[in-house]
Amino acid sequence: MSTLPFSASGVHSKSVSHYISNSSFLDFDRGRRNSKLFFIRTPCFNHSRRRRRRNLSVKNVASDHKQQVKEPNTEEASVDTFVPDSATIASSIKYHSEFTTSFSPEHFQLPKAFYATAESVRDMLIINWNATNSYYEKMNVKQAYYLSMEYLQGRALLNAIGNLELSGVYAEALKKLGHNLEDVAGQEPDAALGNGGLGRLASCFLDSLATLNYPAWGYGLRYKYGLFKQLITKEGQEEVAESWLEMGSPWEIARNDVSYPVKFYGKVVSGTDGCKKWVGGEDIMAAAYDVPIPGYKTKTTLNLRLWSTKVSPQEFDLHAYNAGDHAKAYAAIKNAEKICYILYPGDETVEGKTLRLKQQYTLCSASLQDIIARYERRSEEPVNWENFPEKVAVQMNDTHPTLCIPELIRILMDVKGLSWKEAWNITQRTVAYTNHTVLPEALEKWSLELMQDLLPRHVEIIRTIDEELLHTIVTEYAMEDVDLLQQKLKQMRILDNIELPESVAKLLVKSEENSAAHPTEEVDISGEESKDAVEEDQSEEQEVEEKNEVTFEPDPTLPKMVQMANLCVAGGHAVNGVAEIHSEIVKNEVFNDFYQLWPHKFQNKTNGVTPRRWIRFCNPDLSKIITKWTGTEDWIINTEILSTLQKVNCYIQVLYRTNVHDQQFADNEDLHSEWREAKRRNKIKVASFLKEKTRYVVSPDAMFDVQVKRIHEYKRQLMNILGIVYRYKKMKEMSPEERKESFVPRVCIFGGKAFATYVQAKRIVKFITDVGVTVNHDPDIGDLLKVVFVPDYNVSVAEVLIPGSELSQHISTAGMEASGTSNMKFAMNGCIVIGTLDGANVEIREEVGEENFFLFGARAHEIAGLRKERAEGKFVPDPRFEEVKEFVRSGVFGPYNYNELMGSLEGNEGYGRADYFLVGKDFPSYIECQEKVDEAYRDQKRWTKMSILNTAGSYKFSSDRTIHEYARDIWMIEPLVLP
Strand partners, 833: 808
Catalytic residue selected from 122, 299, 679, 710:
710
Catalytic residue selected from 117, 300, 362, 821:
821
825 catalytic residue (yes or no): yes
Dist CA 848 CA 72 (whole Å): 47
Phi, psi angle pair for 609, to nearest 5°: -130, 150
Strand partners, 286: 260, 309
Burial (0-12, 13-18, 19+ Cβ within 10 Å), 270 = exposed
- The contacts of residue 76 (CB under 8 Å, 6+ apart) are 51, 52, 979
Task: Give helix 879-889 / helix 717-732 axis angle, nearest 10°.
Answer: 80
DSSP H/E element including 808: strand 807-810
DSSP H/E element including 129: helix 110-139
Q: Taking Cα atoms as reference points, which of 971, 977, 978 lies closest to residue 145?
A: 971
Strand partners, 431: 394
Burial (0-12, 13-18, 19+ Cβ within 10 Å), 813 = buried
Measured CA to CA in angstroms, residue 522 lies from 356, 534, 545 at distances of: 66, 11, 21
Q: Taking Cα atoms as reference points, which of 153, 81, 121 lies closest to residue 298?
A: 81
Check residue 648 and report its DSSP letter: B
70 SS3 class: strand
Query: What helix, strand, coil percent values describe the chain, rounded to 5?
Result: 50, 15, 35
Dist CA 856 CA 930 (whole Å): 9
402 catalytic residue (yes or no): no
Strand partners, 147: 219, 396
Dist CA 38 CA 47 (whole Å): 14
- The contacts of residue 793 (CB under 8 Å, 6+ apart) are 230, 708, 751, 752, 753
Residue 919 near residue 927 (C-beta atoms within 8 A):
no
Dist CA 428 CA 670 (whole Å): 56
70 catalytic residue (yes or no): no
53 catalytic residue (yes or no): no
Q: Note the maximum CA span of the chain.
A: 124
Dist CA 368 CA 608 (whole Å): 27
- The contacts of residue 917 (CB under 8 Å, 6+ apart) are 713, 714, 716, 813, 816
Compute how many other C-beta atoms are within 10 angstroms of the C-beta atom of residue 324.
9
Phi, psi angle pair for 420, to nearest 5°: -60, -45
Residue 2 near residue 108 (C-beta atoms within 8 A):
yes
Dist CA 156 CA 799 (whole Å): 12
- The contacts of residue 656 (CB under 8 Å, 6+ apart) are 670
Torsion of CA 58, 60, 65, 67, to 10 degrees: -50
Strand partners, 808: 706, 833
Pairing mode, strands 301-310 and 216-221: parallel
Dist CA 618 CA 641 (whole Å): 19
Q: Taking Cα atoms as reference points, which of 622, 578, 570 lies closest to residue 601?
A: 570
Compute how many other C-beta atoms are within 10 angstroms of the C-beta atom of residue 575.
25
Catalytic residue selected from 41, 94, 436, 601:
436
Catalytic residue selected from 305, 374, 616, 715:
715
Residue 466 near residue 501 (C-beta atoms within 8 A):
yes
Residue 589 near residue 946 (C-beta atoms within 8 A):
no
Catalytic residue selected from 825, 885, 921, 956:
825
391 catalytic residue (yes or no): no
Dist CA 451 CA 432 (whole Å): 22
624 catalytic residue (yes or no): no
Residues annotated catalytic, as ranges:
436, 709-710, 715, 821, 825
